[in-house]
Structures are given as C-alpha cells and as structure tokens.
Amino acid sequence: MKKRSPLLSWIFSTARFLWEMPRVVDMLSRLEKHVDAEGTQRVEHRGVVLFNTVRTYVSVQLVIEVMLALKLKARGFDVRMLYDDGPLYHHETLTKNDLAPMQTYYRLRRLLSLALLRRLPLVGGMMEPYSRFVDRAQLTLLDDPKVGELKSFRSIELEPFVRASLVRFYLSAPDRPMLESERDYQKARAMFVRNAIVSISAAQQVYAEFKPTMVVTSHGIYSSWGTFMSFMMQQGVRTITYGLNGYGAASLDLATDDIAANKSDGGYLKHLAEQVVDRTISRIDVAQRVGHLMNERFNHGSADIARLGGTETASRSPLLQRLDTHRAAGRDIFALFPNVMWDNATTFEESNRVFDSPVEWLVETVRYFDRSPDKVLVIRVHPAERSFMTVRKSVSDILTFHLGEQVLRRENIIIVAPEEPLSSYALFDFMKAGIVYNGTIGLELVFGHIALIIGARAAYSDSGFTHDIHDRNEYFAAFDTTEQILQRQDSNLESALLFAYEYFFLHGVPMKFMSPLRAGTPNYECPTDEIWGDRNLEHVVGVMAGEREYFQDYWRQDER
C-alpha cells in the first residue's frame, strides 16, 4: 500500500468531512425523534451517564457516541456529553508531522461540527463544554516553568499517560532515551502534563456536580482520555470503553473498566467455554469457522491483511534463498514480528510483565542473537510503518540508537523492511519459532503449528494454550525449548480455537448504524427505524445499563 502525500491526505480528509457532517447531523436528527416517541420524560431517572467526547470532528466517533447516548436517554438516564471547546493544550491525534496550518484546520473542523450538533434539540441539550469545568486562571500550576517535571496530580500518576501521548506525538517508540533525544522534548512533555492537569481538573469538577454512575470514553490512553478515566475509576465510577473492531467493518469492540476495548474479553472466554460444554455452540462450527478464517488469512484474503500489502510468496526471493542457506547449514531460524511501536497496543503498562517496554524487548532479543551466531533472527518490520501508520522512528532506527549500526550487518540478523513485498507467512516454512510482543500474528503462528514465544502479556496469554512467560530467564530459555512449547500448543488446540472464535467472530458487535462496506463510516443509507430497532444495539445498551452481563453475548438466539 503506497503512502498518500500529506497534501492529498488533507484534500481527501477535508472533502470527506464536508461531505459527511451534514449527513451525520441529518442522521442524528432523525434518530432524535425516536427518543421523543418513546416518551423519555415519563421514564424514571436512572442516574447520570457521562460521555468524555474529545474527537468531535470524527464522524464515526460522533455517531457512535450520540447513538449510545440517545439510547441511554430513552432508557431514563440523564446523559451528558463533555467536549473540548478549547481548554486542552493539544489534541492527541495531531503529531509532530502535522504543521501549524493542519492544527488550525482541525480546530475549525471541531468548531463547525459543534455548531451543527448544538442545533439538534436533544443532542445540543446534552452537551457540556470543558470550559465550564476548568478555569485555567485558577490552575496556577499550568504556568509553572517546571510543570513538565510533575509526576502526579491529585493522586493520579501521570507518567503512563504522558509517555503514551509523547510516543503518539513523535510517532516514535515507548522508550525514554529515544523520546528525550527529541529536540523539543521538554516543551512537548510540558504540553501533555498540562493536558493531564486540565483533564483531571475537569473530571474532578464534573464528578462533584453530576456524580455519574457511568463514564463512556473512546479509551483510557493518553493525557486527555486516560487521566480523566483514571480519576473516575478511582471514584468507583463504572467506565465503558469502545473502539472500531479491526476485523469487522461494521462492528464495535466494547469493554467495562478496561483502558481499551480490544484487549480484554472481560471474563467472557470462560463463559463461552461453558456454552460449548452445554452445546449452545458446536465444537465443529468453532473449528470450521476458525479454520476457514486462518486459511483465508494465510492466503491474504482478509481485508486487514490486504490493506497492509506484503503478499509476495515467491520462493526465488533473495531473502528466502538466504534462509535456505542458513537452514542447510543447520542453523535454527527464528522470526520476530514487532508491532508499530507508537501504536496503542505498545503502551499498555500491564502488558509489560517481562520487559519494561517493547523497545527493551526488541533490543534485548537482538542482543541475545548477536551473541548466538548459531541461531538466525529475521525481524519482519510491520508493513504499516510505511503505509497508514507512518513512523518517525523505525525499528531499524531503534536498533541503531541502542546497539549501533554494526548489529544490522550481522550475518545471522536479518531485517525485512516494511516496504518489502514479501509475505510474513512465507517465513513460516523456515521458522523454528516465532517471537511476538503481543501482536495478533501470534495466534496465526499457533494455527500454523509454529512454536510461539511471547515477550509480554498478549490478549491471548493465560488462555490455556500459550507458553506464558513471566521473567527474562524464562524468556531466553524458551529459545532452547521450542519443541516443548509447540507440543503444549498442539495439545491444547481446542483452547486456541475457542479464543480465536471469540476474538475474531464475537468480540466485535455488528451494528446497523455502521457501514458494512466501508470501515469506520456511518451507514447513512440504512433506514432510521432499522438502526433504532437494531437488536445488537439494544443488547449493548442493555449491558451498559446493567441489565445483561457480556457485550459479546449479542449472538445468543434467546435474546434475539
């Protein structure tokens, strides 16, 4: 996938925004009438639900949050939607690469979308500006030149959220030395600490006024979303996070009291296993559906894989010929698959149970192979690094920064560049084991009957089929025990099938208000009666309201 130029991206983004916003407002206006029709005012008040709406210029996020808000309002909840009208110092999705005109452009988009939303009677009545709860003049700490050194504020530890924001801003890696090497690091750090102070202050005032029973937010990462959510959780407020499912164009991931909706099953896997035992779900159906999916992925038929590129499997590839030579010489070949280092998945603190960060994992693993010339390490850099998840600091940059350029020239250490068209699956035939931090390809390695070595706590860890590592000694010992690891995987394949079934087929809840054809786009063509009456939507709101237990249980026939 070729990278689009910044100018073309700006033109495309502007055209899409101007095309979508009137349709978003029209769609929401028609949906408001359903709330009135259900006689909201006659329903008993059930508590306050607060949406921490930050990205008010992203159409699909607006539709998701307003859709859920209207449904909850129809059930008798007092819904408030908190939006940024200026107090925050920086928007988390803007990066170092975004020039000042782009930042102004996004502010204008935000103002336009807010102006349109305020015209809607119900939605406008639910909206609450940040400025009503934050008075910068009273937060004298914001003007302290040493504010960037602050580690906590009002009992909230700032470091995890500020570091995640810095990683996102610099499109770099969760590594302190690399971040601190940026010329304007101190200025950027102070900016995100100020963001956190404003967010926590807003959360404190909002809590004092509304005493919300539930907070809904995109996620709990970064200096704005994360600190706000952390404060609310400290007060015992139930939190709901949501996100677009990566494997279904019209599906939502949702989670309760977790910083991201796509990383936890909320205890559902155990519940699902019980459904298999009582034959609500057929073991044969689970095996067939997962088997079909894996075959599709291994043959590059899945949309997410096609989007990445890198589908060449030619046996004449110079890289594969080089691996053939190593194999003929009796050397064991290992392949390492790092995430895009600035991606959210790399910033989860609880994932780092073996190493302090994915950077440390990468560096220490390469250092191990540098001292083990009898073993070969192939590093398949994530293809998204040179497409839709562009980085400023690549895997090669990270290794050069920490280990020097010479390590990249070792005979037994091979780096496959992100733009290399070679398929990652072409490496499977050569591998003694695959190494991941917490990436999804780990599941594919299991189904490819390849030993999996995990350097962190992945979503599929502790699920009954992986070799779960808890310290560095166990991690490095795993390179010499791959046969035992593979035996454990193969003998517990049923657990792997069940996890994959939940992860790929049930975790994302299909929604009629989202387009099934274009990921991340509202379904403007769907009649509002169908959207409002969507049983999956009713199920999700039922879980949010405390009437049902699991978001993933939407599929059950007795609820449909």
462 shares a domain with 364 = yes
Range with the poorest average pLDDT among 154-158, 165-169, 308-312: 308-312
- Alpha carbon distances (Å) from 246 to 68, 253, 505: 20, 9, 11
Cross-strand partners of 157? 152
pLDDT of residue 482: 98
Q: Which of 506, 529, 549 is the last residue of a domain?
A: 506
Within a domain: residue 269? no
pLDDT exceeds cutoff 60 at 311: no
State how far the Cα of 551 lies from the Cα of 560, in Å rounded to an integer.
14
Q: Are 302 and 320 in contact (CB under 8 A)?
A: no
CATH of the domain at 414: 3.40.50.12580
pLDDT of residue 14: 77
Calculate what percentage of the chain has a pLDDT beyond 90: 62
Asked whether residue 270 is assigned to any structural domain, the reply reads no
Q: Is 381 helix (H, G, I), strand (E, B) or coil?
A: coil
pLDDT of residue 209: 96
Tokens of 443: 């599941």
Q: Which residues have a Cβ under 8 Å from the Cβ of 170 and sit 6 or more positions away?
A: 95, 96, 179, 182, 188, 342, 392, 393
Strand, coil or helix: 109? helix
My answer on whether 190 and 130 are in the same domain is: yes
Confidence of residue 1 (pLDDT cuts 50, 70, 90): very low
Q: What is the pLDDT of residue 345?
A: 56
Mean pLDDT of 32-57: 75
Residue 415, in any domain of the structure: yes
Q: How would residue 65 be classed by pLDDT, with cut points 50, 70 and 90? A: very high
CA angle (521, 526, 532) in 5-degree steps: 100
Q: How many helices (H) and strands (E) does the chain have?
A: 20, 14
Q: Is the pLDDT of residue 310 over 60?
A: no
pLDDT tens, residue by residue, 371-398: 999 999 999 999 888 877 888 899 999 9
pLDDT reported for residue 483? 98
Contacts of 69 (CB under 8 A, 6+ apart): 49, 51, 79, 81, 123, 126, 216
Contact between residue 483 and residue 467 where contact means Cβ atoms under 8 Å apart: no
Q: Which of these three, 461, 482, 506, is where a domain ends?
A: 506
Q: For residue 407, is pLDDT > 50?
A: yes
> Does residue 55 carry a pLDDT above 90?
no
Q: In what order do the strands lie in the sheet with 413-416?
A: 413-416, 375-380, 332-337, 433-436, 451-454
Q: What is the mean pLDDT of the chain?
A: 88
pTM higher than the cut 0.85:
yes
Q: What is the pLDDT of residue 559?
A: 44
Q: Which amino acid is at 378?
A: V
| Mean pLDDT along residues 460-480 | 96
Token couple for 410: 């070792």
pLDDT band at 208 (very low <50, low <70, confident <90, very high): very high
More confident residue, 79 or 116: 79
Sequence-ordered list of residues with C-beta below 8 angstroms from that of 181, at least 6 positions apart, any chain: 401
pLDDT value, residue 96: 85
What pLDDT is recorded for position 560?
42
Closest CA to 377 of 359, 388, 365: 365
pLDDT grade for 13, boundaries at 50, 70 and 90: confident
First to last CA, the chain: 40
What average pLDDT score do residues 544-550 get?
Answer: 94
User: Is 467 within the bounds of a domain?
Assistant: yes
Backbone angles phi, psi at 152, to 5 degrees: -150, 160
Same domain? For 361 and 450 the reply is yes
Give CA–CA dist 152/197, Å, rounded.
9
Lowest mean pLDDT among 268-272, 385-389, 395-399, 507-511: 385-389
Q: Are residues 322 and 444 in the same domain?
A: yes
Smallest CA-to-CA distance from 28 within 61, 54, 59, 67 is with 67
Assess contact for 537 and 67: CB atoms under 8 A.
Answer: yes
How far is it, in rounded angstroms, from Cα 484 to Cα 454? 14
pLDDT at 334: 99
For residues 343 and 135, which has the higher predicted lDDT (pLDDT)? 343
Same domain? For 13 and 117 the reply is yes
| Same structural domain, 238 and 361 | no
Residue entry with tokens 């030149």: 145
- Average pLDDT rounded to a whole number, residues 106-128: 87
Whether residues 336 and 349 fall in one domain: yes
Whether 272 is in a domain gets the answer no
Specify whether 180 is located in the same domain as 296: no
> What does the pLDDT look like over 283-298, one tens digit per residue?
889 999 999 999 999 8
Contact between residue 260 and residue 221 where contact means Cβ atoms under 8 Å apart = yes
How confident is the model at residue 279, as a pLDDT? 72
Domain count, the chain: 2
Residue 207's pLDDT is: 97
Three-state secondary-structure class, residue 286 = helix
Helix (H, G, I), strand (E, B) or coil at 192: helix
Q: Select from 217, 224, 241, 243 the least CA-distant residue to 53.
A: 217
Does residue 277 form part of some domain?
no
Judge if 464 and 520 occupy the same domain. Answer: no
Decide: helix, strand or coil at residue 211. coil
Q: What is the pLDDT of residue 305?
A: 64
pLDDT tens digit sequence for 75-92: 999 999 998 888 888 888
209 & 304 share domain: no
Q: What is the pLDDT of residue 303?
A: 67
Is residue 439 in some structural domain?
yes
Residue 27 lies in a domain: yes
Strand order in the sheet with 127-129: 127-129, 78-83, 48-53, 214-217, 238-244, 251-256, 509-510
Distant-in-sequence, close-in-space partners of 212: CB < 8 Å, separation ≥ 6 = 47, 48, 49, 50, 80, 206, 232, 237
The DSSP secondary structure of 110-129, one letter per residue, reads: HHHHHHHHHTSHHHHHHEEE
| Residue after which a domain boundary falls, among 489, 506, 523 | 506
Quickly state the pLDDT bin for 266 (edges 50, 70, 90).
Answer: confident
Closest C-alpha to 369, from 513, 450, 480: 480
Q: Are residues 404 and 520 in the same domain?
A: no
- Categorize the per-residue pLDDT at 363 as very low, low, confident or very high, splitting at 50, 70 and 90: very high
CB 393 within 8 A of CB 179: no
**Higher-confidence position of 248 and 303:** 248
b/e map 78-91, b = 16+ CB within 10 Å: bbbbbbbbebbbbb
Please indicate whether residue 43 or residue 289 has the higher confidence score (pLDDT).
Answer: 289
* Domain encompassing residue 240: 6-262+509-559
Question: Are 409 and 541 part of one and the same domain?
Answer: no
Query: Pick the residue with more confidence: 387 or 492?
Result: 492
